[in-house]
């Protein structure tokens, strides 16, 4: 029996594990992938700017730091196990995983993020054959795109960020999006223009034209409702249309959990759900004051842990201050300094 089981090992789950350790709770993380880090693995080379007090770091650097922090208090970690259902039995929570294992806890924090299963594929016949050559749904390395003509399809923050990341490296970057205006941060949109990214508003991909050998995409045919058809020469194509969501955990759990749009957990600003003892953190949590940033996930996590602590022990303090004089943190800092000195 654990004090808290955290479902999901992304930023929200890892910070939940750190904070629950700080509050001396017996903690377990269950992650469906064989690794920790969550959605950040989708963009390992992308620069992450939105963590307060942390200079811009790559996604991979942030993962490494989050994992190290999350393991500070030695939580139990279960990888490669998908939680299929959550059930309340005699006041405790029973979690059943895909392998048939049962995990028991006094409280639960759901931190499964966007429930990523796979990127949304381009709905054009024959597109899948180019996935082995120059059609991409993730960008694991920027090196491939140096001095290339790159077309990115999508109007999300991710698509805008990729365009800005690649603009200084690529020969040319085209950004294709369906709406009239981009909905991103103003500074990011300004940077697109400053860096000379070619914008194709109200446009969509109609056809992928292959080279003479039929192996690679040579041209992308775009369709605009009033301007008609346009052809763009390309070397690489990136599709950034979001990800399919998996709501099976919430669908198959026999608990009266209130939801929003079927997928999100309806909660409050303290990360509490409609089920006593069950909390949510990160993208899965929905409330009026929700902030969909990594920094927001950290706040969700701390709130969830504090609520879980008081659910178990009503006399516990409402919150815990992170102190550099904590015994385990002192030990962690000492090891970090030794590592830095060794590198020097």
Q: Which residue positions form the known binding site for FAD?
A: 31, 39, 43, 83, 117, 283, 324
Residues in contact with 222: Cβ distance below 8 Å, sequence separation at least 6, in sequence order: 176, 200, 203, 204, 205, 206, 229, 230, 231, 232
Q: Which residues are annotated as a binding site?
A: 31, 39, 43, 83, 117, 283, 324
CB-facing half-sphere around the CA of 82: CA atoms within 13 A: 12
Token code pair at residue 321 = 């201050």
Q: Exposed (0-12), middle (13-18) or buried (19+): which is 222, by Cβ within 10 Å?
A: buried
């Amino acid at each position: 029996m654990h004090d808290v089981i955290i479902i999901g090992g992304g930023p929200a789950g890892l910070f939940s594990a750190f904070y629950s350790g700080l509050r001396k709770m017996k903690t377990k993380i269950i992650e469906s992938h064989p690794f920790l880090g969550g959605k950040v693995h989708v963009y390992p080379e992308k620069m992450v700017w939105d963590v307060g007090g942390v200079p811009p770091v790559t996604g991979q650097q942030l993962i490494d730091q989050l994992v190290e922090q999350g393991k500070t208090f030695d939580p139990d970690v279960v990888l490669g196990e998908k939680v299929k259902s959550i059930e309340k039995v005699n006041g405790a929570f029973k979690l059943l995983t895909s392998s048939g294992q049962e995990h028991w806890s006094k409280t639960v924090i759901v931190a499964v993020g966007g429930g990523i299963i796979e990127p949304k594929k381009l709905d054009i016949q024959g597109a899948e054959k180019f996935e082995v050559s120059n059609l991409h749904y993730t960008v694991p390395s920027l090196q491939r795109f140096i001095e290339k003509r790159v077309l990115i399809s999508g109007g999300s923050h991710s698509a805008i960020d990729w365009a800005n990341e690649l603009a200084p490296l690529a020969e040319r970057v085209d950004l294709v999006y369906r709406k009239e205006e981009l909905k991103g941060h103003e500074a990011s949109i300004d940077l697109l223009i400053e860096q000379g990214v070619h914008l194709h508003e109200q446009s969509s991909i109609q056809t992928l034209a292959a080279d003479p050998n039929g192996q690679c995409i040579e041209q992308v045919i775009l369709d605009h409702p009033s301007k008609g058809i346009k052809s763009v020469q390309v070397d690489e194509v990136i599709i950034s249309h979001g990800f399919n969501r998996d709501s099976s955990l919430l669908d198959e759990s026999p608990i009266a959990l209130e939801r929003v749009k079927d997928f999100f957990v309806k909660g409050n600003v303290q990360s509490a759900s409609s089920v006593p003892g069950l909390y949510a953190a990160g993208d899965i949590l929905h409330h009026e004051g929700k902030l969909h940033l990594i920094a927001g996930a950290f706040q969700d996590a701390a709130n969830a842990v504090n609520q879980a602590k008081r659910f178990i022990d009503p006399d516990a303090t409402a919150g815990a201050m992170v102190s550099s004089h904590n015994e385990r943190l002192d030990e962690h800092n000492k090891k970090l300094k030794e590592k830095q000195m060794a590198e020097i």
